[in-house]
Chain A
Amino acid sequence: MSILSLRGITKSFAGNAILKGVSLEAEEGEFIALVGPSGCGKSTLLRIVAGLEHADGGEIVIGGREVSRLAAADRNVAMVFQSYALYPHLTAGQNIAVPLAMRRLSGVQRFPFVGNFLPGQRQIRADIQRQVREMASSLKIDHLLDRKPGQMSGGQRQRVALARAMVRSPSAFLMDEPLSNLDANLRVHARGEIVELHRRAGVPTLYVTHDQSEALSMADRVAVMIGGTLLQLASPKEIYDDPAHIEVARFLGQPRINVIETRMEPSGTVRFGAITLAAENPASGEVPVMLGVRPEFVRLSGTPDGMLKARVERTEFLGSEVIVHARLDAIGETIVARISPAEAAPLTAGIPVSVEIEPDRAMLFAASGERLRAQTVAFAAPLEKAHG
């Protein structure tokens, strides 16, 4: 049974459609990362799930309850914000206690001074304090409880924000780029922690990020949103290896996938260098298509005897790998290869190389961006060098 499901969510601001019917199902305890370029509507979607914005159409079901008409407070979802949104005038401990106090104490009991004399509230307050301390010790922030947000570092604030979100045991977690204000080292460390917290809570998590490496490394499934449409929702491996749309392929992967515009012959075949791809459902007549190859499947050899000749434009040394940009002689486009430093050693700017593409790794996309299923039917180049 899916615990969190969105069905056909639409939203527009001042006539601009921001979300064009987004549907998504999250299983119990599933971690879904929503990625996309800025302005694709991912944060809006998250705010709609939280109840901070209202959708124009569609349904939101959390834990079997249709909540799209409920106020944010009644949905029992917790959200972690990019800016952490801790109350600046309260200490960390008080910040974590707020959601509990708002739920357990009545309006009169919370009232200053008067509330302190009402029966029962002392017991509840003690309970809340105990829970705050438990939460704090599980996140190792016990020593920060008396500090105000202004006296804490970014990483500490982020933990307090996580504690405030988790302490009320919500039925879903929403995270809006919670790591993007941290420095790079801390960010990688915090990824693991968030995944661990998510496992412990066992509730579905929607995690919005524009950082593809966060999405791929943390999530059970990755949802790529572009221009208000959810283009693909799949496991990190599947979405990377088998993208359903050229935009998905372009968005994931660093450096970006090589896209070469070419044509499909009426027979349904596309030839590029030494490889020939055959589409499963060929279109009638010659149509323009795009051929995508990830940089790690492009091989460069220093002997310019292959079928695709190119000239090295520049190389970027990244330590464990080298990114080589080479311009193809035939079509004048640049192709990017990601190769090991040993392979790249003889390659310097200006030298001619021949380009080879690993068979079965080229993907075909229609001009509209949709993926065209295709098989590599032939390749006629010596690849031993690249493999060896």
Chain B
Amino acid sequence: MTANLSFGRILRFTLLSLGALIFLAPYIFMISTAGKAQSEIFSSSLSLIPEQWSYVENFTKALSRVSMPTLLMNGVIVCAMIFVVQIVVAIPCAYAMAKLKFRAARLMMVLVMLGLLVPIHATALPLYVAFDRLAVLNSYTALVAPFSISVFAIFLFLQFFRAIPDDLIHAARLDGMSETGIVARVVVPNAWPAITAFAIFSVVAHWNDLFWPLVVVTNQHYATPPLGLLYFRAAEAGDDYGALMAATLIITFPLVAAFLVAQKRFVEGITMTGLKG
């Protein structure tokens, strides 16, 4: 190994490490701030390592002043519901568009493309009004429903299913499977890389989403983690940045942990679906 440490190699590692450091800097600074006392945060000196370790106080504040379990639970419920509904809707839809012949297929493709172009911010107001009339504001329904049909998921699965050989589907039909059976027994078991890749996008996007929960939720009981954080800052913490950073760490931890645990499978999923970059 030592023989391989040529100048070029050292240079490469240095550059990459520097890049990693730049990207990680905010998070590192967050970890550092979470351990500082109020006085130290507002002092003129800037140090990475807290002079006085206040992790315990800050985390106690973060956990006691806001109902952290409720926030995390809401995050898990909302993300899981969104993901499950998206999968249940998108997989059969993408299968039909990729492997069945029907007249509306082209029209559906156009609609999917259009759907990809319209952001949630454009439809937020009409949706808000509709949910208000239906009296479903401040509920899991309001948090989940707008995301139940993910055109991105349909598009992603469509590309993946097109690569499944027709012969495999034909063999399944001859073996006596119904179309639903084919989706459940042949397509899904072979689409794990695509499903994993989509899971990352969906869960990360909705766990971190602040915009939509801010629109439809005013009751703390239904607050998702980022929204809870916002309330925490506005109502409780004020300028108590130490506690705020501690709360943020708690909220971002599940995603970071999940990624580290399943890193290999995620990377596999993303590279196998060609969704690099």
Contacts and interface: CB of A to CB of B under 8 A. Distances in A.
B176 A99 contact: yes
Interface in A66-107: 71-73, 77-79, 81-83, 85-89, 98-99, 102-103
B261 to A, nearest CB: 23
Contacts of A83: 165, 167-168
B161 to A, nearest CB: 14
A99 B190 contact: no
A50 interface: yes
A85 B176 contact: no
B171 interface: yes
A77 B174 contact: yes
Nearest to A74: B176
B162 interface: no
Contacts of A87: 168, 171-172, 185-186, 189-190
A47 B186 CA distance: 20
A174 B2 CA distance: 62
Contact of A79 (B170, B185, B186): B170
Given A52-B170, A79-B170, A81-B167, A88 B177 contact: no
Interface string B62-81: 00000000000000000000
B265 interface: no
Given A73-B177, A102-B177, A85 B171 contact: yes
Contacts of B171: 79, 81, 85-87, 164
B221 interface: no
B175 interface: yes
A77 B170 CA distance: 12
A311 to B, nearest CB: 50
Nearest to B191: A89
Interface residues on B, range: 10 to 19
Given A83-B165, A85-B165, A85-B168, A50 B189 contact: no
A157 to B, nearest CB: 12
Contacts of B172: 87
A295 B175 CA distance: 46
Name which of B165, B175, B177 has the most chain A CB atoms within 10 A of its CB.
Answer: B175
B174 A50 contact: yes
A193 B263 CA distance: 47
A98 B190 CA distance: 16
Contact of B174 (A79, A82, A88): A79
A87 B189 CA distance: 9
Interface of A: 47, 50-52, 71-73, 77-79, 81-83, 85-89, 98-99, 102-103, 164
Q: What are the 3 tightest A-B residue pairs by CB atom distance, in nearest-first order?
A: A102-B176, A85-B171, A85-B167
Interface of B: 165, 167-168, 170-177, 181, 185-186, 189-190
13 contacts: A51-B174, A72-B173, A73-B173, A79-B171, A83-B167, A85-B170, A85-B171, A87-B168, A87-B171, A87-B172, A89-B190, A102-B181, A164-B171
Given A72-B173, A87-B185, A87-B190, 14 more contacts: A47-B170, A50-B170, A52-B174, A71-B173, A72-B170, A72-B174, A73-B173, A73-B174, A79-B170, A85-B167, A87-B168, A99-B176, A102-B181, A103-B176
